[in-house]
Amino acid sequence: AEAEDGEMAQRIAKHRAERPTHWQTLETPQWVGAAVAAVDPTAYEVVLLDCLTMLASNVLLALPEAVDAQTAEDALTAEIEALLAVYERTASHWIIVSNEVGLGIVPAYALGRLYRDVLGRANQRLAAAADTVLFMVAGLPMKVK
């Protein structure tokens, strides 16, 4: 997340302070696959991406306002494929957090519907590549795969 106001800056600072001190953290709003590849992910036992939902939002909001659905889909797909390319080169255990935004009502505005659709397909792509998929409900894990 990026701090657009004081309240968000405080939230980010709180999250940073709550992280274990031994974690090596890489914060990047986009091009996460390239950023992770640049720090040699093979050196890590665990790679945690928190979260795909925010990454998808950042990708879509960086596009021109009148973008068509296919261009948006292609932009997020490129991010996902870059992540998967790094994932496939490592023996690291990856944990990717995402939200299931398709469970609610259909958004009333076009960007919201586009976001819901492309994030849903990104979640499907990552789930297909994953060994295990968990769906968290009220803090309890439900094994999907």
Assigned CATH for 25-143: 3.40.50.300
Domain boundaries, the chain: 25-143
Q: Of residues 11, 15, 89, 145, which has the active-site annotation?
A: 15
CA distance 11 to 5: 10
Q: What are the tens digits of pLDDT across the range 81-116?
A: 999 999 999 989 999 999 999 998 999 998 899 999
The long-range contacts involving 6-13, CB below 8 angstroms and separated by at least 24 positions, are none
Tell me, what's the pLDDT at 24? 86
pLDDT above 90: percentage of residues in the chain: 66
The answer to whether the CB of 41 falls within 8 A of the CB of 47 is: yes
| CB-CB contact of 47 with 90 (8 Å) | yes
The answer to whether the CB of 128 falls within 8 A of the CB of 88 is: no
| Active site annotation includes 93 | no
Give 25's pLDDT tier (boundaries 50, 70, 90). Answer: confident
**Rounded percentage of the chain residues whose pLDDT exceeds 70:** 99
Most confident of 27-31, 86-90, 133-137: 133-137
With 90 as the cut, is the pLDDT of residue 142 above it? yes
pTM of the model: 0.86
* DSSP three-state, residue 109: coil
Quote the mean pLDDT of the chain. Answer: 92
